């Protein structure tokens, strides 16, 4: 296969699948990783894709825009349902404390919290708070602050101060993007600060993210991959990436 044919095939694969890894491409086309990286560099210069750590994504994968809660709720609903259900395996069996981030996948997790044990729940999400409010035996605390209408999340000094005084058993965290190089990221700087504080406040960090978020990078990094204990996602994750995350100590759960 000529280089031009291989590069066209790589571009078609990234466009159709949304992303591709250097390792997988090298195996598929029986070339070295260095050759693939040169191909990706050429394709990036031509505007076909965007290189990221370990591979490439579509040109619109690095986003600066942000969808509201209603728009995001309609994306990948089946995956979010399974991920939210799987997340509840990590709720302490004898009760305990949780902090739940804003986001549509974290809302799915909140809706499935077990009702057979006492829980103390902290959240900065209006949607999560309304979902959990009627749970029997749940002591619900809303982390106040300025509400961002687009995500219905409280941000600013108030939630940061509250989280700074907490040490909870488990944090359920959402993300807009996840790559090995950029870590976990989100468009808004203030929301990123709250997410970082939630992670710092938790003994165990459970990231809930469907595979459409994996391979994407957003404006503000709020955590490194190594700060995550568990990633719950769907079968769309690249198996090679899943293996690398596992090797770094992240428990990957396919819901």
**Digits of tens for pLDDT over the chain (255 positions)?**
888 899 999 998 888 787 888 999 999 999 999 999 999 999 988 888 888 778 888 776 555 455 555 555 556 789 999 999 999 999 999 999 999 999 999 999 999 999 999 999 999 999 999 999 999 989 999 999 999 988 999 999 999 999 999 999 999 999 999 999 999 999 999 999 999 999 999 999 999 999 989 988 888 999 999 999 999 999 999 999 999 999 999 999 999
8 A C-beta contact, residue 9 and residue 31: no
CB 83 within 8 A of CB 255: yes
Q: Is residue 4 within a helix (H) or strand (E), and if so which, with residue range? A: helix 3-17
- Please list the alpha-helical segments (H only) found in 74-187: 77-87, 104-111, 126-132, 157-164
Query: Under 8 Å CB-to-CB from 129, ≥6 apart: which residues?
Result: 123, 140, 142
What is the number of helices (H) and of strands (E) in the chain? 10, 15
Q: From the centroid of its chain, how far is CA 133?
A: 25
**Under DSSP, is residue 197 helix (H, G, I), strand (E, B) or coil?**
helix
- Asked if residue 195 lies in contact with residue 223, where contact means CB atoms within 8 angstroms, the answer is yes
The three-point CA angle 182-48-54 to 5° equals 30
Residue with tokens 């509250």: 162
| Tokens of residue 180, six digits | 């090995």
Q: What pairing do the DSSP bridges indicate for beta strands 168-173 and 202-208?
A: parallel
Please tell me whether residue 166 adopts helix, strand or coil conformation.
coil
Comparing C-alpha atoms, which of 134, 117, 124, 131 is closest to residue 99?
124
pLDDT of residue 50: 83
The predicted pLDDT at position 17 comes to 80
Alpha carbon distances (Å) from 80 to 110, 141, 161, 192:
12, 24, 30, 21
SS3 (DSSP) at 124: coil
Report the SS3 class of residue 77: helix
Other CB atoms within 10 Å distance of the CB of residue 254:
16
């Amino acid at each position: 296969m000529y280089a031009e044919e291989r590069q066209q095939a790589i571009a078609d694969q990234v466009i159709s699948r949304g992303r591709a890894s250097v390792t997988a491409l090298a195996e598929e086309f029986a070339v070295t990783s260095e050759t693939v990286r040169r191909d990706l560099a050429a394709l990036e210069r031509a505007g076909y894709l965007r290189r990221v750590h370990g591979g490439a994504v579509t040109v619109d994968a690095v986003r600066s825009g942000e969808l509201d809660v209603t728009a995001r709720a309609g994306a990948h609903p089946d995956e979010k349902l399974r991920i939210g259900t799987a997340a509840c395996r990590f709720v302490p069996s004898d009760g305990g404390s949780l902090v739940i981030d804003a986001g549509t996948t974290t809302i799915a997790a909140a809706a499935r919290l077990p009702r057979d044990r006492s829980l103390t729940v902290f959240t900065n999400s209006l949607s999560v708070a309304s979902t959990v409010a009627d749970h029997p035996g749940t002591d619900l605390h809303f982390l106040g602050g300025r509400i961002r209408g687009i995500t219905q999340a409280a941000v600013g000094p108030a939630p940061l101060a509250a989280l700074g005084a907490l040490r909870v058993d488990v944090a359920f965290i959402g993300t807009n993007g996840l790559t090995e190089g950029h870590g976990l990221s989100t468009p808004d700087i203030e929301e990123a600060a709250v997410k970082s504080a939630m992670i710092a406040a938790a003994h165990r960090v459970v990231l809930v993210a469907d595979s459409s978020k994996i391979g994407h990078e957003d404006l503000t990094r709020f955590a490194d991959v190594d700060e995550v204990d568990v990633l719950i996602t769907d079968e769309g994750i690249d198996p090679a990436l899943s293996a690398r995350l596992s090797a770094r100590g992240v428990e990957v759960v396919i819901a």
